[in-house]
Amino acid sequence: MKKVILTLVFAVFTAFGFAQQPTYGCGGNDGGHDHQRCVEIDKRTDACRPSIDGPAILCWSDLRAALYAGASYSQAIQVGKKSKAVITQKGSNVSVTFQYGTGGAYNVIKVNQSDGGGLAKANWSYVTQLGKGNSANVTQTGLKNKSDIDQYGNYNTAIVDQKGHRHMSDIDQRGTSNKAKVTQVDCKNRAKVFQKGCSNDSDQQQSARANLASAKQIGHYNESDQKQSGVGKNLAKVRQGSSYNYAFNNKASQTKIGKRNSAYIDQDGRRNTATQKQTGKRNYAEADQRGLLNKSTQTQTGKRNEALVVQRGKRNTATQTQTGDDNMALSFQGGIKNKSISIQKDDNNYSLMGQLGFNNFAKADQSNGNQVSIALQGGSNNIIRVTQSK
Protein backbone atom coordinates (compact mmCIF):
# COMPACT_ATOMS: atom_id res chain seq x y z
CA MET A 1 0.00 0.00 0.00
CA LYS A 2 2.82 2.42 0.84
CA LYS A 3 4.27 1.83 -2.62
CA VAL A 4 0.92 2.68 -4.20
CA ILE A 5 0.62 5.89 -2.17
CA LEU A 6 4.15 7.02 -2.95
CA THR A 7 3.59 6.20 -6.61
CA LEU A 8 0.57 8.49 -6.64
CA VAL A 9 2.56 11.21 -4.90
CA PHE A 10 5.28 10.87 -7.54
CA ALA A 11 2.62 11.06 -10.26
CA VAL A 12 1.36 14.32 -8.78
CA PHE A 13 4.85 15.81 -8.62
CA THR A 14 5.70 14.62 -12.12
CA ALA A 15 2.54 16.12 -13.53
CA PHE A 16 3.36 19.48 -11.99
CA GLY A 17 7.06 19.35 -12.82
CA PHE A 18 7.79 20.54 -9.30
CA ALA A 19 10.94 19.87 -7.30
CA GLN A 20 9.29 18.57 -4.13
CA GLN A 21 10.34 14.99 -3.44
CA PRO A 22 9.02 12.34 -1.03
CA THR A 23 11.34 11.22 1.73
CA TYR A 24 11.51 7.49 2.42
CA GLY A 25 11.85 6.06 5.89
CA CYS A 26 9.89 8.87 7.50
CA GLY A 27 8.37 8.53 10.93
CA GLY A 28 11.38 8.29 13.20
CA ASN A 29 11.91 5.81 16.00
CA ASP A 30 10.13 7.78 18.67
CA GLY A 31 6.90 8.34 16.78
CA GLY A 32 7.17 12.09 17.32
CA HIS A 33 6.89 14.94 14.80
CA ASP A 34 10.33 16.46 15.21
CA HIS A 35 11.67 14.41 12.29
CA GLN A 36 11.59 14.94 8.55
CA ARG A 37 8.15 14.68 6.97
CA CYS A 38 7.41 12.18 4.22
CA VAL A 39 6.94 15.09 1.82
CA GLU A 40 8.45 18.41 2.81
CA ILE A 41 8.66 21.88 1.28
CA ASP A 42 11.89 22.67 -0.50
CA LYS A 43 11.95 26.27 0.67
CA ARG A 44 13.23 28.95 -1.64
CA THR A 45 15.76 31.56 -0.53
CA ASP A 46 16.10 33.57 -3.75
CA ALA A 47 15.54 37.31 -3.70
CA CYS A 48 15.53 40.06 -6.31
CA ARG A 49 17.36 43.06 -4.92
CA PRO A 50 17.21 46.63 -6.26
CA SER A 51 20.03 48.03 -8.35
CA ILE A 52 20.76 51.75 -8.59
CA ASP A 53 22.32 52.63 -11.96
CA GLY A 54 20.87 55.91 -13.19
CA PRO A 55 22.12 58.41 -15.78
CA ALA A 56 25.81 59.26 -15.77
CA ILE A 57 27.03 62.09 -13.55
CA LEU A 58 28.54 64.78 -15.79
CA CYS A 59 30.81 66.37 -13.24
CA TRP A 60 31.72 64.45 -10.11
CA SER A 61 34.01 67.24 -8.87
CA ASP A 62 31.11 69.71 -8.81
CA LEU A 63 28.88 67.13 -7.11
CA ARG A 64 31.43 66.47 -4.36
CA ALA A 65 32.05 70.17 -3.86
CA ALA A 66 28.35 70.87 -3.42
CA LEU A 67 27.80 68.04 -0.96
CA TYR A 68 30.93 68.81 1.07
CA ALA A 69 29.56 72.34 1.42
CA GLY A 70 26.22 71.02 2.67
CA ALA A 71 24.49 72.02 -0.56
CA SER A 72 22.69 69.99 -3.26
CA TYR A 73 23.48 68.87 -6.80
CA SER A 74 20.89 68.76 -9.58
CA GLN A 75 21.51 67.58 -13.13
CA ALA A 76 18.65 67.68 -15.65
CA ILE A 77 19.04 66.86 -19.36
CA GLN A 78 16.22 67.03 -21.89
CA VAL A 79 16.19 65.97 -25.55
CA GLY A 80 13.20 66.25 -27.83
CA LYS A 81 10.16 68.33 -27.03
CA LYS A 82 7.61 69.15 -24.36
CA SER A 83 9.28 67.46 -21.40
CA LYS A 84 9.11 68.93 -17.91
CA ALA A 85 11.32 68.46 -14.85
CA VAL A 86 10.67 70.15 -11.49
CA ILE A 87 13.39 69.60 -8.88
CA THR A 88 13.01 70.89 -5.31
CA GLN A 89 15.90 70.31 -2.92
CA LYS A 90 16.38 71.33 0.70
CA GLY A 91 19.44 70.23 2.59
CA SER A 92 22.19 68.26 0.88
CA ASN A 93 20.90 65.91 -1.82
CA VAL A 94 21.46 64.66 -5.39
CA SER A 95 19.01 64.55 -8.30
CA VAL A 96 19.93 63.32 -11.80
CA THR A 97 17.32 63.23 -14.58
CA PHE A 98 17.34 62.48 -18.30
CA GLN A 99 14.35 62.89 -20.62
CA TYR A 100 14.15 61.95 -24.29
CA GLY A 101 10.76 62.97 -25.63
CA THR A 102 9.26 61.27 -28.67
CA GLY A 103 5.96 61.83 -30.47
CA GLY A 104 3.84 64.26 -28.50
CA ALA A 105 6.18 63.88 -25.51
CA TYR A 106 4.80 65.50 -22.30
CA ASN A 107 7.09 63.49 -20.04
CA VAL A 108 7.02 64.86 -16.48
CA ILE A 109 9.45 64.45 -13.59
CA LYS A 110 8.94 65.82 -10.09
CA VAL A 111 11.60 65.38 -7.41
CA ASN A 112 11.27 66.71 -3.86
CA GLN A 113 14.18 66.10 -1.50
CA SER A 114 14.75 67.32 2.05
CA ASP A 115 17.19 66.66 4.89
CA GLY A 116 20.20 64.77 3.53
CA GLY A 117 23.64 65.31 4.98
CA GLY A 118 26.66 65.91 2.80
CA LEU A 119 28.41 63.34 0.66
CA ALA A 120 28.00 60.51 3.17
CA LYS A 121 24.33 61.01 4.01
CA ALA A 122 22.71 62.62 0.96
CA ASN A 123 19.53 61.31 -0.64
CA TRP A 124 19.97 60.24 -4.28
CA SER A 125 17.31 60.24 -7.00
CA TYR A 126 17.79 59.04 -10.58
CA VAL A 127 15.08 59.25 -13.27
CA THR A 128 15.32 58.27 -16.94
CA GLN A 129 12.45 58.71 -19.39
CA LEU A 130 12.31 57.74 -23.06
CA GLY A 131 9.01 58.03 -24.89
CA LYS A 132 5.94 60.15 -24.28
CA GLY A 133 3.44 60.81 -21.56
CA ASN A 134 5.53 59.24 -18.81
CA SER A 135 5.29 60.52 -15.23
CA ALA A 136 7.73 60.09 -12.34
CA ASN A 137 7.30 61.54 -8.86
CA VAL A 138 9.96 61.09 -6.16
CA THR A 139 9.77 62.32 -2.55
CA GLN A 140 12.68 61.71 -0.19
CA THR A 141 12.83 62.79 3.45
CA GLY A 142 15.63 61.60 5.70
CA LEU A 143 19.16 60.38 5.09
CA LYS A 144 20.91 58.11 2.57
CA ASN A 145 17.77 57.09 0.64
CA LYS A 146 18.19 56.02 -2.99
CA SER A 147 15.66 55.86 -5.82
CA ASP A 148 16.09 54.82 -9.45
CA ILE A 149 13.25 55.07 -11.99
CA ASP A 150 13.63 54.01 -15.64
CA GLN A 151 10.69 54.46 -18.01
CA TYR A 152 10.87 53.31 -21.62
CA GLY A 153 7.60 53.61 -23.51
CA ASN A 154 4.49 55.67 -23.18
CA TYR A 155 2.19 56.84 -20.39
CA ASN A 156 3.92 54.92 -17.61
CA THR A 157 3.56 56.20 -14.03
CA ALA A 158 5.99 55.75 -11.14
CA ILE A 159 5.68 57.15 -7.60
CA VAL A 160 8.31 56.76 -4.88
CA ASP A 161 7.88 58.09 -1.32
CA GLN A 162 10.76 57.46 1.08
CA LYS A 163 10.72 58.62 4.70
CA GLY A 164 13.51 57.62 7.06
CA HIS A 165 16.96 56.33 6.39
CA ARG A 166 18.77 54.07 3.91
CA HIS A 167 15.80 52.96 1.85
CA MET A 168 16.39 51.74 -1.69
CA SER A 169 13.85 51.64 -4.54
CA ASP A 170 14.34 50.48 -8.13
CA ILE A 171 11.55 50.77 -10.72
CA ASP A 172 11.92 49.67 -14.35
CA GLN A 173 8.99 50.13 -16.73
CA ARG A 174 8.90 49.10 -20.38
CA GLY A 175 5.71 49.37 -22.39
CA THR A 176 2.54 51.39 -22.07
CA SER A 177 0.39 52.59 -19.16
CA ASN A 178 2.17 50.63 -16.43
CA LYS A 179 1.85 51.91 -12.85
CA ALA A 180 4.23 51.42 -9.94
CA LYS A 181 4.14 52.88 -6.45
CA VAL A 182 6.69 52.38 -3.66
CA THR A 183 6.17 53.70 -0.12
CA GLN A 184 8.96 53.19 2.42
CA VAL A 185 8.98 54.24 6.09
CA ASP A 186 11.53 53.69 8.88
CA CYS A 187 14.86 52.38 7.57
CA LYS A 188 16.74 49.98 5.28
CA ASN A 189 13.77 48.74 3.28
CA ARG A 190 14.43 47.49 -0.26
CA ALA A 191 11.93 47.45 -3.14
CA LYS A 192 12.24 46.44 -6.78
CA VAL A 193 9.66 46.59 -9.59
CA PHE A 194 10.05 45.39 -13.17
CA GLN A 195 7.16 45.82 -15.58
CA LYS A 196 7.03 44.95 -19.26
CA GLY A 197 3.86 45.12 -21.30
CA CYS A 198 0.70 47.16 -20.90
CA SER A 199 -1.37 48.33 -17.92
CA ASN A 200 0.41 46.36 -15.22
CA ASP A 201 0.00 47.71 -11.67
CA SER A 202 2.31 47.30 -8.68
CA ASP A 203 1.94 48.76 -5.16
CA GLN A 204 4.60 48.16 -2.49
CA GLN A 205 4.26 49.47 1.07
CA GLN A 206 7.08 48.91 3.53
CA SER A 207 7.40 49.97 7.15
CA ALA A 208 9.63 48.78 9.99
CA ARG A 209 13.17 47.74 9.04
CA ALA A 210 15.07 45.81 6.40
CA ASN A 211 12.12 44.41 4.49
CA LEU A 212 12.68 43.20 0.93
CA ALA A 213 9.96 43.22 -1.75
CA SER A 214 10.14 42.56 -5.48
CA ALA A 215 7.49 42.41 -8.18
CA LYS A 216 8.13 41.28 -11.75
CA GLN A 217 5.26 41.60 -14.20
CA ILE A 218 5.56 40.66 -17.85
CA GLY A 219 2.35 40.79 -19.84
CA HIS A 220 -0.79 42.87 -19.62
CA TYR A 221 -3.20 43.97 -16.88
CA ASN A 222 -1.47 42.13 -14.04
CA GLU A 223 -1.73 43.43 -10.47
CA SER A 224 0.61 43.07 -7.50
CA ASP A 225 0.02 44.39 -3.97
CA GLN A 226 2.71 43.92 -1.30
CA LYS A 227 2.55 45.20 2.27
CA GLN A 228 5.22 44.65 4.91
CA SER A 229 5.18 45.84 8.53
CA GLY A 230 5.97 44.74 12.06
CA VAL A 231 9.50 44.15 13.33
CA GLY A 232 11.03 43.77 9.86
CA LYS A 233 13.26 41.58 7.69
CA ASN A 234 10.27 40.15 5.83
CA LEU A 235 10.66 38.90 2.25
CA ALA A 236 7.98 39.14 -0.45
CA LYS A 237 8.48 38.18 -4.08
CA VAL A 238 5.97 38.15 -6.95
CA ARG A 239 6.55 36.99 -10.51
CA GLN A 240 3.78 37.11 -13.07
CA GLY A 241 4.64 36.11 -16.62
CA SER A 242 7.98 35.81 -18.40
CA SER A 243 9.62 37.08 -21.56
CA TYR A 244 8.57 33.94 -23.44
CA ASN A 245 5.18 33.52 -21.78
CA TYR A 246 3.21 36.72 -21.20
CA ALA A 247 0.68 36.73 -18.36
CA PHE A 248 -2.71 38.43 -18.45
CA ASN A 249 -5.01 39.76 -15.70
CA ASN A 250 -3.35 37.91 -12.84
CA LYS A 251 -3.58 39.25 -9.28
CA ALA A 252 -1.10 38.77 -6.43
CA SER A 253 -1.44 40.05 -2.87
CA GLN A 254 1.05 39.64 -0.01
CA THR A 255 0.69 41.02 3.54
CA LYS A 256 3.44 40.46 6.11
CA ILE A 257 3.24 41.54 9.75
CA GLY A 258 6.08 40.45 11.99
CA LYS A 259 9.65 39.34 11.50
CA ARG A 260 11.50 37.21 8.95
CA ASN A 261 8.40 35.96 7.16
CA SER A 262 8.96 34.80 3.57
CA ALA A 263 6.43 34.57 0.75
CA TYR A 264 6.65 33.77 -2.96
CA ILE A 265 4.06 33.96 -5.71
CA ASP A 266 4.65 32.71 -9.27
CA GLN A 267 1.83 32.92 -11.80
CA ASP A 268 1.66 32.14 -15.51
CA GLY A 269 -1.45 32.22 -17.63
CA ARG A 270 -4.60 34.26 -17.28
CA ARG A 271 -6.77 35.54 -14.46
CA ASN A 272 -5.10 33.60 -11.66
CA THR A 273 -5.29 34.99 -8.12
CA ALA A 274 -2.94 34.39 -5.20
CA THR A 275 -3.33 35.87 -1.72
CA GLN A 276 -0.89 35.42 1.17
CA LYS A 277 -1.22 36.81 4.71
CA GLN A 278 1.36 36.17 7.41
CA THR A 279 1.44 37.36 11.01
CA GLY A 280 4.19 36.26 13.35
CA LYS A 281 7.75 35.13 12.84
CA ARG A 282 9.63 32.93 10.36
CA ASN A 283 6.56 31.74 8.47
CA TYR A 284 6.95 30.54 4.87
CA ALA A 285 4.35 30.58 2.08
CA GLU A 286 4.66 29.74 -1.61
CA ALA A 287 2.10 29.69 -4.41
CA ASP A 288 2.87 28.45 -7.94
CA GLN A 289 0.01 28.63 -10.42
CA ARG A 290 -0.19 28.07 -14.16
CA GLY A 291 -3.31 28.08 -16.24
CA LEU A 292 -6.64 29.88 -16.10
CA LEU A 293 -8.69 31.18 -13.17
CA ASN A 294 -6.81 29.29 -10.48
CA LYS A 295 -7.08 30.70 -6.97
CA SER A 296 -4.85 30.28 -3.93
CA THR A 297 -5.34 31.70 -0.43
CA GLN A 298 -2.78 31.16 2.33
CA THR A 299 -3.12 32.58 5.87
CA GLN A 300 -0.59 31.97 8.64
CA THR A 301 -0.50 33.18 12.23
CA GLY A 302 2.24 32.09 14.59
CA LYS A 303 5.81 30.90 14.13
CA ARG A 304 7.64 28.66 11.67
CA ASN A 305 4.54 27.60 9.74
CA GLU A 306 5.06 26.44 6.15
CA ALA A 307 2.54 26.38 3.29
CA LEU A 308 2.82 25.42 -0.37
CA VAL A 309 0.27 25.48 -3.19
CA VAL A 310 1.01 24.21 -6.71
CA GLN A 311 -1.80 24.30 -9.28
CA ARG A 312 -1.91 23.45 -12.98
CA GLY A 313 -5.02 23.67 -15.15
CA LYS A 314 -8.02 25.87 -14.69
CA ARG A 315 -10.50 26.89 -12.01
CA ASN A 316 -8.68 25.05 -9.24
CA THR A 317 -8.96 26.47 -5.72
CA ALA A 318 -6.69 25.95 -2.71
CA THR A 319 -7.15 27.43 0.76
CA GLN A 320 -4.66 26.94 3.59
CA THR A 321 -5.15 28.43 7.06
CA GLN A 322 -2.67 27.78 9.86
CA THR A 323 -2.76 29.11 13.42
CA GLY A 324 -0.06 28.07 15.84
CA ASP A 325 3.55 27.00 15.44
CA ASP A 326 5.43 24.54 13.23
CA ASN A 327 2.47 23.51 11.07
CA MET A 328 2.93 22.40 7.46
CA ALA A 329 0.39 22.32 4.62
CA LEU A 330 0.95 21.20 1.01
CA SER A 331 -1.57 21.18 -1.82
CA PHE A 332 -0.89 19.91 -5.36
CA GLN A 333 -3.70 20.10 -7.90
CA GLY A 334 -3.85 19.46 -11.62
CA GLY A 335 -6.91 19.47 -13.82
CA ILE A 336 -10.18 21.37 -13.69
CA LYS A 337 -12.27 22.64 -10.76
CA ASN A 338 -10.45 20.75 -8.03
CA LYS A 339 -10.74 22.23 -4.54
CA SER A 340 -8.62 21.73 -1.44
CA ILE A 341 -9.06 23.20 2.04
CA SER A 342 -6.61 22.77 4.89
CA ILE A 343 -7.33 24.28 8.33
CA GLN A 344 -4.79 23.66 11.09
CA LYS A 345 -4.81 24.95 14.65
CA ASP A 346 -2.30 24.65 17.46
CA ASP A 347 1.15 23.14 16.81
CA ASN A 348 2.92 20.53 14.67
CA ASN A 349 0.01 19.59 12.41
CA TYR A 350 0.68 18.25 8.93
CA SER A 351 -1.55 18.18 5.85
CA LEU A 352 -0.67 16.83 2.39
CA MET A 353 -3.20 16.99 -0.45
CA GLY A 354 -2.78 15.87 -4.04
CA GLN A 355 -5.56 15.89 -6.63
CA LEU A 356 -5.51 15.09 -10.35
CA GLY A 357 -8.58 15.19 -12.52
CA PHE A 358 -11.90 16.98 -12.48
CA ASN A 359 -14.09 18.37 -9.72
CA ASN A 360 -12.38 16.61 -6.81
CA PHE A 361 -12.74 17.94 -3.25
CA ALA A 362 -10.51 17.47 -0.21
CA LYS A 363 -10.73 19.09 3.21
CA ALA A 364 -8.70 18.60 6.37
CA ASP A 365 -9.65 20.32 9.63
CA GLN A 366 -7.09 19.59 12.35
CA SER A 367 -6.68 20.94 15.87
CA ASN A 368 -4.99 20.29 19.22
CA GLY A 369 -1.63 19.58 17.61
CA ASN A 370 0.41 16.73 16.10
CA GLN A 371 -2.33 15.68 13.69
CA VAL A 372 -1.45 14.18 10.29
CA SER A 373 -3.64 14.07 7.20
CA ILE A 374 -2.69 12.72 3.76
CA ALA A 375 -5.35 12.98 1.05
CA LEU A 376 -4.59 11.87 -2.53
CA GLN A 377 -7.15 11.62 -5.33
CA GLY A 378 -7.13 10.88 -9.04
CA GLY A 379 -10.19 10.91 -11.26
CA SER A 380 -13.34 12.97 -10.99
CA ASN A 381 -15.97 13.96 -8.41
CA ASN A 382 -14.15 12.35 -5.48
CA ILE A 383 -14.60 13.70 -1.94
CA ILE A 384 -12.37 13.42 1.12
CA ARG A 385 -13.20 15.10 4.45
CA VAL A 386 -10.92 14.73 7.45
CA THR A 387 -11.64 16.19 10.90
CA GLN A 388 -9.15 15.50 13.70
CA SER A 389 -8.80 16.71 17.29
CA LYS A 390 -7.89 15.32 20.68
List, for residues 342-357, the tens digit of each pLDDT value.
999 999 999 999 999 9
Averaged pLDDT for residues 361-380: 97
Report in angstroms the alpha-carbon separations of 183 from 219, 229, 256: 24, 12, 15
pLDDT digits (tens, 9 = 90+) for 176-204: 999 999 999 999 999 999 999 999 999 99
In whole angstroms, what is the distance from residue 300 CA to residue 309 CA?
14
Q: What is the mean pLDDT of residues 120-127?
A: 96
Q: Rounded to whole angstroms, how far apart are CA atoms 158 and 173?
A: 8
Predicted confidence (pLDDT) per residue in 240-265, tens digit? 999 999 999 999 999 999 999 999 99
| Confidence (pLDDT) at 105 | 76
**H helix and E strand count, the chain:** 3, 29
In 144-208, which ranges are E strands?
146-154, 157-165, 168-176, 179-187, 190-198, 201-206
Please write down the long-range contacts of 42-45, taking CB distance under 8 Å and 24 or more positions apart: 43/262, 43/284, 43/286, 43/306, 44/262, 44/264, 44/286
The DSSP letter of residue 29 is: S
Report pLDDT digits (tens) over 55-101: 999 999 999 999 999 999 999 999 998 899 999 999 999 999 999 99
Using CB atoms within 10 Å of the CB of residue 3, give its burial: 0 to 12 exposed, 13 to 18 middle, 19+ buried.
exposed
Local confidence band at 286 (pLDDT 50, 70, 90 cut-offs): very high
So what's the pLDDT on residue 34? 52
Q: How confident is the model at residue 128 (pLDDT cuts 50, 70, 90)?
A: very high
Give me the phi and psi of 65, to 5 degrees please.
Answer: -65, -40
List, in sequence order, every residue forming a beta bridge with 295; answer none if it has no partner.
Answer: 273, 317
Answer whether residue 33 shows pLDDT above 90: no
Predicted confidence (pLDDT) at residue 362 exceeds the cutoff of 50: yes
Q: What residue spans define the domains of the chain?
A: 2-46+153-167+174-388, 47-152+168-173
Longest dimension (CA), the chain: 78
169 with 147: CB under 8 angstroms?
yes
Q: Residue 90: its pLDDT value, please?
A: 96
Helices (H), the chain: 2-16, 60-68, 118-121
- pLDDT at position 5, please? 42
Average pLDDT across the chain, whole number:
92
Percentage, residues of the chain above pLDDT 70 = 91
Percent of the chain with pLDDT over 90: 86
* pLDDT of res. 9: 53
What pLDDT sits at residue 129?
97
37: pLDDT strictly greater than 50: yes
pLDDT of 14 > 80? The answer is: no
Residue 112: its pLDDT value, please? 98
> For position 31, what pLDDT does the model report?
44
The answer to whether 179 and 200 have CB atoms below 8 angstroms apart is yes
Q: Residue 153: what pLDDT?
A: 96
